[in-house]
Amino acid sequence: METNLELVQERVESHIDTLSTFTATPGKGTTRLTYSPEDLQARQYIKEKMKEYGLTVREDGFGNIFGKLEGTLKDAPSVLIGSHFDSVPNGGSYDGPAGVVAGLEVAALFAENQLTPKYPLEVIALVEEEGSRFGGGLMGSRGIVGLLNEEDFNSLKDKDGIYAVEAMKEIGLDPSLPKKRDPKTMKAYLELHIEQGPILEEKGIPIGVVEAIVGLTQLEVTVKGQAGHAGTTPMDRRADALVTAAKMIAQFPQFAESEGEDTVVTTGRLNVFPNGANVIPDEVVFTVDIRSGKEENVQNVIQNVKDLAVSYSHNGIEISVEQLLYIQPKRMNQDIVSLLKKKSSELGISKCSINSGAGHDAMVFSDFTNVGMLFIPSKDGLSHCPEEWSDSRHIANAVQVLYEAAKKLTEAE
Ligand SMILES: [Zn+2]
């Protein structure tokens, strides 16, 4: 049986519109913090739809929602499809929900076509991906794979001092339910997410098959020089920390360009000491944020920054480089990447490879199961704002691709 794209698109629109009404800031975007009254409203809607689509609903000890279609194989691992349903303050209607809704619609197609999978299909809706209430982010997925233990979870508080466990109970959730999930119970994890960048829209391509979620490295560079009077110190006698820092920073774009493959390098914070208009700066501390889908590119940039530091450490200037953060790029599962591309082609939906410049729940799952991810275009590349928008047609396209991939992965007939 053919899937009815128009019908899927209509339902996608209706889900997105309904979910967007569950906001603490009506008229000012979606504000849906974890375990808030709006979380409860969205949760009830998602659970209701899961049941309507023939899924068995359960929640875990973090409040993550699972809707399961049993498979015929006994104790077989599930193919998970979903995303998160929390938001940043005054965010949009698509970051997260697009993926949850896509999961729901894949389940709807399984039901409509009366498919019986061998491996279970599980639609999942995750809490606290954004970290807007309890900080850190990726809480739901980290919890599922066991990266957030009971003790750490119990100590989580929001900015008003409310404990996560208390907030859970407030909306009727049970923190004593099972939390961690054995990776053996997961066969694959598929996620649709909005791109949150301009690439797909500019190329006019409706589907991006994610190859990797970029690694993130943060360096902190400290340049020490010699303070002096701005009027009385001759130019050739200066050890100006800021001039040196500026020379270094000016070369970073070239480091990124020479690596290519979407490598980006950013200096977003710079502190100048003593920061007086008539004093030669004796110390500058700045950050270097390096991202790439390939670890090799990240390593090369780190080395270039370090070499640069050595080459400028003379004539009274001393430079040190400290690594504050290092998160490896995560490759998506190659078989799933190929499967998603193949299904897109078969459906006549044009697609391209893309890297994700932002972290996602898929990144967390990638160390524990086989992960695949799709992006759809974001209007003007915008996200985390009320203007965030994606075409429901593109979500419906992605649903078709995910449905075909899920049929294959669950061995449904
Ligand atoms: Zn998101």
State in Å: Cα 32 to ligand 1 middle. 13
State in Å: Cα 193 to ligand 1 middle. 7
Contact 171, 361 (CB under 8 A): no
> CB neighbours of 397 closer than 8 A, spacing ≥ 6?
5, 206, 207, 347, 349, 376
State in Å: Cα 97 to ligand 1 middle. 8
pLDDT in tens, 251-274: 999 999 999 988 999 999 999 999
Q: How confident is the model at residue 358 (pLDDT cuts 50, 70, 90)?
A: confident
State in Å: Cα 55 to ligand 1 middle. 24
pLDDT of res. 2: 55
State in Å: Cα 360 to ligand 1 middle. 6
| The two three-digit tokens of residue 136, written as one number | 């850190």
Residue 363 Cα distances to 55, 63, 66, 80, 104, angstroms: 26, 20, 19, 14, 21
pLDDT of res. 19: 98
pLDDT in tens, 38-77: 999 999 999 999 999 999 999 999 999 999 999 999 999 9
| The two three-digit tokens of residue 265, written as one number | 């390098």
Overall average pLDDT of the 318-337 stretch: 93
State in Å: Cα 278 to ligand 1 middle. 46
pLDDT of res. 359: 86
Distance, CA of 360 to CA of 234 (rounded, Å): 52
Q: Which helix (H) or strand (E) segment is 319 a member of?
A: strand 318-327
Q: Tell me the residues surrounding ligand 1 (ion) with CB < 5 Å.
A: 95-96
State in Å: Cα 229 to ligand 1 middle. 50
pTM for the model stands at: 0.85
State in Å: Cα 130 to ligand 1 middle. 7
pLDDT in tens, 155-172: 999 999 999 999 999 999
State in Å: Cα 211 to ligand 1 middle. 17
The runs of H, that is alpha helices, within 313-346 are: 334-346
pLDDT of res. 3: 65
Task: Find where tokens 């950050």 sit.
Answer: 287
Q: What percent of the chain has pLDDT over 90?
A: 90
State in Å: Cα 126 to ligand 1 middle. 10
pLDDT in tens, 193-206: 999 999 999 999 99
State in Å: Cα 103 to ligand 1 middle. 14
State in Å: Cα 49 to ligand 1 middle. 21
State in Å: Cα 129 to ligand 1 middle. 7
pLDDT of res. 108: 97
